[in-house]
Structures are given as structure tokens and as C-alpha cells.
A and B are shown apart, each in its own frame.
Chain A
């Protein structure tokens, strides 16, 4: 854990990343351990443990998709309105923690499990924008890329450890699943505690000597002002990014078919992408601070086009797998945190959380659309043609994205 470094206090900076960012990174790391513990065993629990049929599982899987977009926007706006980002973020973390216990209480009831997973997602939706706004607030604008890079690396490290912890608990419990949910709840609770104790409240954060992230001078927090945020260029840019991103599941499935990996290797493909994301987040974040964030986002988009081109190409074998996963991770490392760093400098400080929620929601909604479209393309045109079409879309998006990001938004 990173508590030793935190000891230097939120007001000081450690290696030019503030204590607050490290604290939030630690919270994310712990919370992701908790979340991924459950994600890793959920299919096993539902199908092997509760003996759900495929159709019942499909229903549960579909229930929560997209249900949290509105809550994310509302959460962002409320956080700005009452000017208490930390409180809203803490509520989001606490809701997700309680959802772990909900899984225990839901027993074998499909609808209750679906409801619990929705509540879990709602908590995640609620906390993401205030957390990113807190990172922005604690970081000088010129170092935002690095700060988000550090945060995303810690976040991804947690996602990496989660499944391992779940396996450990399963070994202790003699392969019963309920203790994994209990352990996940305990881990999540620790995350909330670290947030409450080590992340400064909004008032303290605003009084920091660090100049809070740039952005135009402030005005009032109103729905009308929030509506004006949507007219900027960052929202279309985020939507565009979402639109050219096909589902991760597709990428892994195409890859698996292309190299004829046995289905048992499937989960490892996601691990490969995470590994690249984890290692590249900090260097690419620093690069973004140095050479300009739009350039790095464009580079990420080019990496994505590369992924689709490779998937549509006649290449095969282990080199293809490694190259695709590395580029896929590089795409996330070059866009996820960096886009939030751009958002941190674009939106007025008092509406920053709303703006970040807007950008994240727009990207997520567009992503759902593109996944559906790619699914249709795959069914009607076949794998190769659909991948090349996705690559073409990504390449066409490059100049558009350059225009959207180049000028002040």
C-alpha cells in the first residue's frame, strides 16, 4: 500500500504528484481489487454455483447496461451544486461496497442479483466524475497528464490483483463463493475509509497552495450553465472516440478466432490489455504534458486503427496477439486519463464535475452504439470486412478529432 508516501500529507507533493492524487489512486486500487474479485467469479457463481440457465444469465447481464448514465450526470451536477465532490465520491464508493453485501442477501434470485449489480454500477457512475475532478483540483494544470497517468496505473494494478485475491479466498473457503463477496465488501470498506481519512475535503482542497486546474473564470452553478458545457467541442470529441471504439469483447473474440486460441485462454487476453494499459499510462501521461494532450489522444486513436487493421489483416500467430494487445492497451493509456486531463483544463472550475460526467457519459453512450453497429456489421459482412470497416472509421475520425481538439474548446 501507498500509505507511507501519503504520510507526507495532502498539501505536499511526492515526485510532483500530489498526496491527494496518491490517496485517490490508493482508494481506486483498493476498490478495484474489491470489484474485480467479484467480476472474476461472477459467471462461475451464477452458472456453477446457482445453476442459472444461459437465458437467465443473459437477462441478468443485460439489466444494468446503460441504466447508470443519468445517475452519473445527476451525480456530477449535484456534486458541483453543493460543492462537495468528496462527499458525492464517498457516497459512490459506499454504495458499491454495500452492493457486495447485497449479492449475499440476493441469494439465488435472478432479479435481486440484477438489481444489486445495477446498484454497484450506479455507485461507480456516481463516483467517477467527482473523483476525476478532485484529481484535477489537486494538480497544477501542466501536470494533469502525469497525475491521471499515475491514478490510472494504480487503478489498473488493483484490477490486476483482484482476481488473484479472489482465488486466494476460494482456496481458503474450500471453493464456496459467499466468502468472496464478504471479503470483497471488507476490501471496499477499507477503500472508503482511506478516502474519508486521507483525501482532503473540498474546502481544504480549494485552499491548497497548488493552483487548482486551469479553466475559464467561474460563474454560477445552474442547469443552464451546465447545458452550455454540452456545446463545447470536448463532448463531440468524446462521443467520436466512443463511436470508433468497438467493444473490448469483440476485439478479444476476433483475436481468439483468428489465432484459434482455446477458450480457456480467453480471460488472459483482457489481462494482456490491462498490462499494457498499466505500464503505458504514466509515460504517455507525461508525454501528453510535454508535447500536448491532443497529439497523444490522436496517437491513441491511430493505435486503435492499428488494432482493427491487424484484426482485419491476414496475419496470425503469437506476434499478432502481442501486437494487438499492446496497441489496444496503448490506446486506453493514451486516451482515458489524457482526455480527463483535457477536460480538467477546459471546464470552469465550479462546473468541472458536471463537465467530466458529461464527457464520460457521452463516450459511454457512443460506445454502446458502436458495439451494436459492429455486431451487425460482423453478422452481415463477416469478421474481416467488419474489422476493416472499423479501422476505416478510426482513420476517418483522425482529422475530425484533430479539428475538435486542436483549438480551444
Chain B
């Protein structure tokens, strides 16, 4: 450094600052050029709702890989059942997320302001109940921990449950309390009152059965995450942590509620999604490839067959609707 005069060093620094600022600004402005939305086409007949690059889209149930109708509605997570379409809006640097409930023509019916990052979303089969899971930053008190919050909205009565955390817990038959309780991945039964979800506490991730009217949950079994109840209400598709350790990934599995028997599906890749039942025999789920693109796959629920690429370049699948 001593070989340069002070003046020269200042000059070098200022020039470097200008160059670097110019480069950073140029790169940021180029970042505006988003990939053009996929070609949009009219879809008729029974349709599947998915997200294409974060835009609400529909594909024909008979030809899910074919033409796609892409709308302008931006969501991080979407789910549709009966006449209800629910969307969790993306979080911006200065804006929080919202739950937006729409009718089948995508007209806004109700919005709920929320705090956190959209994670899971579900609508009951009747279209009456909506539940969401948000991920609340890494600011949980244990440095390696995380916090989630799951809420429920009853569209008929307007009743809003901000967080399941206030529900009374029965664990293995005994009342239970702990500050580390987190819920995620709610799925509703056909009575629009009982539900299943994942309750995480003390290092366990329990499948719980809950009652919205009574504000209670009770644990059923360990190592069940993101449950999804089959249309006939007898089975639960879920992600099962390999060797009980989420760090090793998850195996997509199906639990028979009556017998308690769990069957791994033919999907051997790690699935980190709340699956959706396309019908009584098939579940759909999103997989993210290493370059960050999402694809929606389907696999038979009984452990047979093989995974099948259902909708390329899409995530957040819902069952087909007319």
C-alpha cells in the first residue's frame, strides 16, 4: 500500500465504489425481467387447480400436462374445494401475507391479514372451512428451532381461530402443556368440525385429532406430518420422517385409521408437502428439483405402482373440481 500515494488510493477506492455500485444496480434492474408467464389457454371440463410460478392456474383433469389457464392472481399457496378458492398471498419485503378467500370465479369474498410465511393451506371438502399454516421466522427462542402458527376460518359463521395453540391438549390420555407447542398441516373431516393436524412438542411430531367446537386436540400417533384425509375419511396420507429424523427427509406414506397400519408409497424421493387426494386411490404432491423448479407428481395411495409426473412446473395441487 505504501507504494501508492494517499491521493491515488482514494481515487482507486472511489472508482471501485462507482464501478461496484453500477454493477450491483445493473444486476438489480436486470432482475426485473421476469420469465414470461406460461402460455395461457382456455380449459374446460373437470379441472385441477395448481400454482405456475406463483400464479393461480388450472389444467384439465383429463390432460393435466396439456394446455394451462394461467391467471394474474399471485399466491404462495392455493387450495380449492367445492365453490371455495383459498390463496395465501406472497410476502413482500414490506408487505405481510393475507388469506384471500375467493368464489369459483375468483371474486374476493373475504380476506384475513396474517403475519408469517405461507406454508400450508387447506379447504374442507364442503368449501366451508379454511385452515392455513404460517411459518414465523427463525425467531423462536431456541436458535435451532422454528415456530409455526395454524389458524382456522369458518366461512359460514365467520368464526376465526387465530391459533390452535390455545386448544387444550390431551397427550397419551393425559392433559399436557408446553411453551414449545407448534401446529402445522390441518386437514378437515366431512363434519366440518373435527380435524387432523401435526402437533410438534418436545421433539415429537404427533398426529392429533381435534375438535373445533370443544377447542381440544388429542394425540394419536408419533412421526406423522402434514396429514391429508382421504375423501372417504378412512386413511391419512402424510409425510413420515425417515428414521424419525426430519433431517434425513420424509417418506410419503398412507395410514389406515382403523387398523393403524402405515404403508409407504412408491415415491422414494423425499416429499416435503401436504399431499392432496385426487380421488380415493391417488395422492398428488409437489417436489422441488435442485434448480428450484417445482413439479406436481402423483402416486397410488396403496403402495403399488410408480410416481407419475402429473403437472410439470406446478405446485400446490388441489383435487379436481367441475
Contact = CB atoms under 8 A, between A and B. Distances in A.
A189 B20 CA distance: 8
Interface string B202-224: 00000000000000000000000
A54 B13 contact: no
| Contact residues on B (Cβ < 8 Å of other chain), bracket | 35 or more
A290 B28 CA distance: 49
Interface stretch (B89-97, B122-130, B168-176, B296-304): B89-97
Given A44-B93, A194-B13, A263-B115, A375 B20 contact: no
Contacts of B268: none
B144 interface: yes
Nearest to A257: B179
A200 B1 contact: yes
A190 B20 contact: yes
B291 A59 contact: no
SS of A interface (majority): helix
A189 B12 CA distance: 13
A191 B180 CA distance: 41
B259 interface: no
B25 interface: yes
B6 A196 contact: no
A182 interface: yes
Interface stretch (B60-68, B133-141, B151-159): B133-141
B10 A375 contact: no
B139 A58 contact: no
A44 B117 contact: yes
A292 interface: no
Contacts of A58: 138, 144-146
| Contact residues on A (Cβ < 8 Å of other chain), bracket | 35 or more
A197 interface: yes
Interface stretch (B29-37, B38-46, B103-111): B29-37
A379 B135 CA distance: 21
A186 B21 contact: yes
Given A44-B91, A197-B1, A378-B179, A53 B119 contact: yes
B267 interface: no
B29 A173 contact: yes
A252 B139 contact: yes
A263 B315 CA distance: 28
Interface stretch (A164-172, A293-301, A332-340): A164-172
Contact of A51 (B93, B182, B288): B288
Contacts of B6: 7, 9
Given A44-B93, A47-B117, A173 B28 contact: yes
Contact of B20 (A178, A186, A262, A263): A186
A54 B90 contact: no
A263 B115 CA distance: 7
A172 B10 contact: no
6 contacts: A54-B182, A58-B144, A175-B92, A175-B93, A176-B34, A178-B31
Q: What are the nearest 7 A-B pairs in CB distance?
A: A62-B144, A179-B28, A108-B292, A173-B31, A183-B24, A186-B20, A47-B117
Interface of A: 3, 7, 9, 41, 43-44, 47-48, 50-51, 53-59, 61-62, 65, 107-109, 166-167, 169-176, 178-179, 182-183, 186-187, 189-190, 193-194, 196-198, 200-201, 204, 247, 249-250, 252-253, 262-264, 266, 371, 375, 378-379
